[in-house]
Amino acid sequence: MKLSSQTKRAISDNVATCSLLLTLALLIAICLLSYLSVNHFLRNNRDVTHTYQVMEKIRSVLSDLKDAETGQRGYLLTGDASYLQPYYAGKSALTHDMDALRALTRDNLSQQRRVDALQALAASKTAELDQTIALRQQAGAVAALRMVRSGNGKRTMDRAREIVARMRVEEERLLKLRTGATEKAGVMAQLVSVFGGLVSALFIVLAIRYVSKYLRERERSEAENLQLVESARLAAVQQRIFLKDVLASVTEGKLALCDTAEELPSPLPVFEETISLSANGALKALRHAAARAARVSGFTEDRVQDFVTSISEAAMNAVTHGGGGEAIVRADGGERVQVWVTDQGKGIAIDVLPQSTLERGYSSAGSLGHGFWLMLRMCDKVWLLTGPQGTTVILEQTESAQDAAWMRGDGRQSVAAFKTVGGSGNASLSDVKNLSIQIRTF
């Protein structure tokens, strides 16, 4: 089954839309995956940094105890109060560092237990240091050193070092795990970035190529459509030109088919005011006005009646086919009289124009179908401008009669000859002349 151009265009539009949406979805997925990979890497890196911070605080706590112990021993040996400065500094820093260490290990229950034990040992050690310093101040160096030699302070420090060592082992274990996880996350982030970038670039290139191809095909399709539309327009123009030539030829110039208002004749001066054909008594008023204008112009009574009959047919056509309209009588005060009849109907289709204007008895509204046939038979000149916006018919009568040979028949021969020449929609000037000669033999 062959698809129409419209269906092909719809399919192409849908495929292009789906391709762009798929590319966009893939880019979003790659961006999301890259974000997750980088976020995982950063989280592991923060864990590594946190481990180093814990290890630093463990070292600081032990260093604070050592500083306090060093200041105590210097004072015990010399009795110089200046040696107590490291002691006081170590005690002050110990409190701050223990609080920081507890905060840093709050996510690790085993380390929290060790922090509790270490804090108890630190409190015991500082109490022992305070006691020896007090003994040195009150009882002298011998009593203070005797207490130091008892070994309680050393045992406390040994247990503190043991706990610190365990805490370091735990943090080193965590550091190894976290470093490995960070390295893997970093490698994964790099792979996702590189692979995602390559895939994204590939899909973008493919999307650009497809969209470019789609746009070229669409432009070509639109150009073909425009060419078809232009060809149809030119064919319609040629058909109408042909129709105008044939109608003018077969009626010996009595019927002029117009394309624009500029092709209508120059209007004569107004003889009577405009008459609305939808008003009561409008046709009678129009006939009387036209008759007065014709008599004033010196027409014979036969010419007057012929003109009035033509005008009646034109007005009836406007009422029947155009839903009403209006008419105006014009005269030049000499030998010419015009009646302009206009309506706002849908106009006469070009494919029935020959029958509507030339064939006696043809009607598209169930009427007798003598309108144009009588107008052309009894009037000297008829101009016709018709289209979707309405129809304008201008009838012009002069003082002297102008009979046409083609009117001796009923018009069917004219239509048949028109169809013979115009069936293909393409006729030369010689065809039109031959048609005119053929009509004159009827």
| DSSP notation for 72-115 | HHHHHHH--GGGGHHHHHHHHHHHHHHHHHHHHTTT-HHHHHHH
Instruction: Give the per-residue pLDDT at 435.
Output: 41
Say which residues have a Cβ less than 8 Å from residue 318's Cβ, sequence separation at least 6: 277, 324, 325, 327, 341, 342, 343, 345, 391, 393
Nearest 5°: phi and psi at 332? -100, 5
* 3-state DSSP assignment of residue 339: strand
Pairing, β 336-343 against β 275-276: unpaired
Mean pLDDT estimate for the chain: 81
Please give the pLDDT value at position 404: 52
Query: DSSP letter string over 110-174?
Result: HHHHHHHHHHHHHHHHHHHHHHHHHHHHHT-HHHHHHHHHTSHHHHHHHHHHHHHHHHHHHHHHH
Cα separation, 388 vs 165, in Å, equals 102
> For residue 356, is pLDDT > 80?
no
Cβ-proximal residues to 347 (8 Å cutoff; 6+ apart), any chain: 386, 387, 388, 389, 390, 391
Retrieve residue 334's tokens. 């000499």
Nearest to 357 by CA among 243, 237, 239: 243
The amino acid sitting at 98 is M
Which residues on neighbouring strands pair with residue 343, listed in sequence order?
A: 391
Q: What is the pLDDT of residues 165-181, one digit of tens each?
A: 999 999 899 889 888 88
Q: Which residue did the predictor score with more confidence, 63 or 31? A: 63
Segment 48-59 mean pLDDT: 90
Round to whole Å and give the CA distance between 331 and 297: 8
Written as six digits, the tokens of 339 are: 């009646």
CB 136 within 8 A of CB 76: yes
pLDDT category of residue 236 using cuts at 50, 70 and 90: confident
pLDDT of the residue at 126: 87
Indicate the range of 79-93, 211-225, 251-265, 330-344 predicted with least confidence.
Answer: 211-225
Least-confidence region, from 228-237, 356-365, 384-393, 420-429: 420-429
Provide the pLDDT for residue 287.
92
Least confident of 29-33, 255-259, 355-359, 402-406: 402-406
Are 299 and 397 spatial neighbours (Cβ–Cβ below 8 Å)? yes
Which of 370, 374, 257 minimizes the C-alpha distance to 307? Answer: 374
What is the rounded distance in angstroms from the CA atom of residue 358 to the CA atom of residue 353? 8
Rounded to whole angstroms, how far apart are CA atoms 316 and 345?
13
- Scanning 328-405, the segments in alpha helix (DSSP H) are 353-358, 371-378
Residue 16 has pLDDT above 70, yes or no: no
User: Regarding predicted confidence, which is higher, 354 or 94?
Assistant: 94
pLDDT in tens, 66-119: 888 888 888 888 888 888 888 889 888 988 999 999 999 898 899 899 999 988
User: What is the per-residue burial (b if ≥16 Cβ within 10 Å, else e) of 373-392?
Assistant: bbbbbbbbbbbbbbeeebbb
The first and second tokens of residue 431, run together, are 């065809």
Hey, what long-range contacts does 287-290 have (CB within 8 A, 24 or more apart)? 287/311, 287/312, 289/329, 290/329, 290/337, 290/339
